[in-house]
A and B are shown apart, each in its own frame.
Chain A
């Protein structure tokens, strides 16, 4: 059967970020995928070198919008690791609260987009509406819906006021009934079982070989989570569960994110209710020469920062590695062999935060058959409809 090439991107209306996926297909089946990035490369590592250690935090926050806490969290830990020094307890709790709030909003965002990809538009609207509650909580605690600017080397920039905590708890509690409904809707829906189980499977061996991260690897049975393996913040101050499943398909990746929502809510509430007193900032005056490494479990996986100091007030080198950088190559293992209708959801299942990586560009070769992003979505939704009909749901 003749092969043709389908390009997705770079301006696919659903995936906000420009990226390039080039699928080689034979008939309905994908036989190869080529991922190219570079559409979001802004040279942030070089920009860090012209800023002071403290100023750099503001640039680093804007590496990624969805996980805008995870990069400062890892960066500040890297700078503190140079000395090394531990931040005050209260700062650790505040950092954890902000980080888990971000995880909640990020996973809800993913469920919305996944629903949209599959043709469950109500889920899309519901999840994004629910996200607004969490963004309200973040605005109450930090002053902003996104880009919280809470982190600095040595602690946190602003304190959480005790009078804000009851309202924050109330808002967090208000999302639980809807999350419960989402859980039931997902776990009990035979259409979703048929649609997502066995799709885009990443085996445990592949997850280890590619050094996959976050829910992408935990869904494949690889029990790795920086919050457990190398505890930081307040993560070892309470009991919570690392969610690991065994099959590695899109279904499992969704279930891992869903159950992580509950754990994040638990951690966030615990930290808000048990916030210790004390200082929030070490007031570091200078960073000695040396090197440090910081890591944080972002919603997508481990964010890794390496910082070298030469004794001046600026980083001599700042290496940023976002989780999607390690997860995108796994597409080479999960997409080939699937059908075109499934390609979109398999791509979305690794929760690519392109801005963190350097997004890929898809180059459409002239004279090759091109599916627009709209058509690819249509194929995905048609498959869902087909399954709904088969199972007598329509």
Chain B
């Protein structure tokens, strides 16, 4: 399939759940989806097109949280990033871990660093942070503040 065929198939099959389609360059496409559509589109890319899942990147975008899921259709040197925007007060999206084994760890990481809930993922144990880290404190959020009175931050820029 050519690049145009791949992209037009995505647009025609999932057009009703695509909120934004940014064809940035020959190698980069960014597609914003309704959160409920994430798993079907990801499955299309991974299982049907054989695209490789790179990683997901969560972010605090001030007004909302967003997660980008990055896939590569290697034969076309095309990287498709699926974006979902989540409500900051209750950020939840369906888990991709049962569809793509490789997504299990990054969901754990985003859960503990950003507070995103992945519905359907039974294993959202801490991955990186220690046991003493307080619950509900998410370091990658913009409103994160130092909570540890014993922390020493007296030098450096």
Contacts and interface: CB of A to CB of B under 8 A. Distances in A.
Direct touch of chains A and B (CB < 8 A): yes
Contacts of B128: 37-38, 41, 358
A231 B27 CA distance: 11
Interface stretch (A64-72, A240-248, A317-325, A377-385): A317-325
B127 interface: yes
B45 to A, nearest CB: 12
Interface in B134-150: 139-140, 144
Interface in A228-253: 229-231
A197 to B, nearest CB: 26
Main secondary structure of the interface of A (DSSP, over half): mixed
A377 B104 CA distance: 31
A319 B25 CA distance: 21
Interface string A206-236: 0001110000000000001000011100000
Interface stretch (B6-14, B36-44, B48-56, B85-93): B48-56
A84 interface: yes
Interface of A: 36-38, 41, 43, 45-46, 81, 84, 209-211, 224, 229-231, 291, 293, 295, 302, 304, 306, 308, 316-317, 319, 321, 325-326, 328-329, 358
Chain B's interface size range is 20 to 34
B59 interface: yes
Contacts of B104: 329
A37 B129 CA distance: 9
A43 B72 contact: no
A46 B140 contact: yes
A321 B101 contact: no
A329 B101 contact: yes
A278 to B, nearest CB: 24
Given A43-B139, A210-B102, A317 B59 contact: yes
Contacts of A41: 128-129
Given A329-B102, A329-B105, A358 B59 contact: no
Contact of A358 (B30, B52, B127): B127
Contact of B27 (A46, A230, A291): A230
Could you say which of B24, B52, B60, B130 has the most chain A C-beta atoms within 10 Å of its C-beta?
Answer: B52
